[in-house]
Amino acid sequence: MEKVERLISIIMILLKKDIVSTKEFAQLFNVSKRTILRDMETLSLSNIPIYSVHGVHGGYGIMDEYKVDKRLLSSSDLENILTALGGLEQILISEEVEITIKKMEAMVHPMSLKSSVRLSFYDWEGRSEILQTLKTCQESIIGRKLLSFDYIDKNGMITNRIVEPYQLHFSETSWYLKGFCLHRQNYRTFKLSRIDNLNMDEETFIHRDYVFEQNEAGYQPQLVAIKALIAPSVKDQFIERYGRKSIENFNSEYCLATIHIPQNSIGFQFLASFGTNLEIVEPQSYVEEFRNYLLKMVEKYS
């Protein structure tokens, strides 16, 4: 282990424990006690508030004020942050986020880590395959290096792209890369699972002065208001997505949901996922389009 890594590890251990002896550190890092003493001197000179305790149960500790500055964050605040980070960990995270989680855990008392809130996501196997793509994109964003890759659109068309990467974005179940496409000479959003043969170039680029939120509307599909009868068994799913105000009682068997849906295959796929638990009643034009979509599905199996 390099000296810098050992020093960081010592800080992490002292943040988590009260007193650690020189012997414990020496055995843990497989170095001499003299080396640990020099490490402590180095940390003290770096303004890390290390203090020593003499005696049989002596050793080194770090000032409590350094562990949790209550003027900024309380233990409850730190637990809430850990809960959020713990949820992100299940989606797909970078090594930097993992390190942050460990740092935050070191700042919280071990008995406090039993949070009353727990976040869980689907542990899809495909996410591990995207991990390398995610890391490469993140490295290129930090280093301001161009990315080149083949992009497969929803129709299966493949185009080669060279992109100035600016931001990684996670939405619902997927990761996206936002950047300036030199091929299209415009800002574009790319789904990571549609990227193939990804390479980070040595060539760097000058960061453009741009805020993505300003042009997010360009990626929003056209929505249409529809009314649909839904079974009570799927009512909770509509409440989660559209809120209780979107649903009203209709009869003993169905509720009436008024929602806004994309007028394309994405909207049709969402509605079809409810099977016989949903029936669109208006507008009639959307009913016909959805019916044609379902007929094409049936034709696949006829």
For residue 19, the domain's CATH number is 1.10.10.10
User: Which amino acid, 47?
Assistant: N
For residue 167, list its beta bridge partners: 178
Range of the domain at 8: 3-67
Dihedral-angle region of residue 187 (phi above 0 means left; psi in -120 to 50 means alpha; beta otherwise): beta
Clarify whether residues 240 and 293 are in a common domain. Answer: yes
Half-sphere exposure (CA, 13 Å, Cβ side) for 164? 14
Average pLDDT score, the chain = 82
Q: Give strand ranges (E) for the chain.
A: 50-53, 59-62, 145-152, 158-171, 174-181, 186-191, 195-204, 223-230, 247-249, 255-262, 278-282
Q: Measured between alpha carbons, how far is 302 from 160 in angstroms, rounded to an integer?
A: 38
Q: H helices then E strands: how many in the chain?
A: 10, 11
Asked if residue 96 has pLDDT above 80, the reply is no
| pTM for the predicted model, two decimal places | 0.57
Q: What is the pLDDT of residue 8?
A: 81
The encoded tokens of residue 202 equal: 């040595």
267 in a structural domain:
yes
Per-residue pLDDT tens digits for 238-277: 998 999 999 999 998 999 999 999 888 889 999 999 999 9
Clarify whether residues 227 and 293 are in a common domain. Answer: yes
| Dihedral angle of Cα 86, 91, 96, 99, to the nearest 10 degrees | 30
The DSSP code for 211 is: -
Clarify whether residues 210 and 146 are in a common domain. Answer: yes
Which of 47, 67, 87 finishes a domain?
Answer: 67
Percent of all residues in the chain with a pLDDT value above 70, rounded to a whole number: 74
User: b or e along 2-11 (b: 16 or more beta carbons within 10 Å of the residue's beta carbon)?
Assistant: eeeebbeebb
Total domains in the fold of the chain: 4
Q: What is the pLDDT of residue 144?
A: 92
Asked if residue 104 has pLDDT above 90, the reply is no
Q: In whole angstroms, how large is the CA radius of gyration of the chain?
A: 27
User: Which amino acid, 195?
Assistant: I
Clarify whether residues 237 and 252 are in a common domain. Answer: yes
Q: What is the pLDDT of residue 70?
A: 44
Clarify whether residues 214 and 130 are in a common domain. Answer: yes
151 in a structural domain:
yes
Clarify whether residues 26 and 7 are in a common domain. Answer: yes
Per-residue pLDDT tens digits for 190-215: 999 899 999 999 988 998 876 555 44
User: 89 CB contacts (<8 Å, ≥6 apart)?
Assistant: 97, 98, 101
118 in a structural domain:
no
Which of 201, 219, 237 finishes a domain?
Answer: 219
Using pLDDT thresholds of 50, 70 and 90, give the confidence band for residue 217. very low
What distances in angstroms separate CA 122 from CA 116, 163, 174, one per listed residue?
Answer: 20, 30, 12
119 in a structural domain:
no
117 in a structural domain:
no
Per-residue pLDDT tens digits for 146-179: 999 999 988 889 999 999 999 988 876 788 999 9
User: Is pLDDT larger for residue 68 or for residue 15?
Assistant: 15
Taking the alpha carbons of 161, 269, 217, 211 in that order, is the dihedral positive or negative? Answer: negative
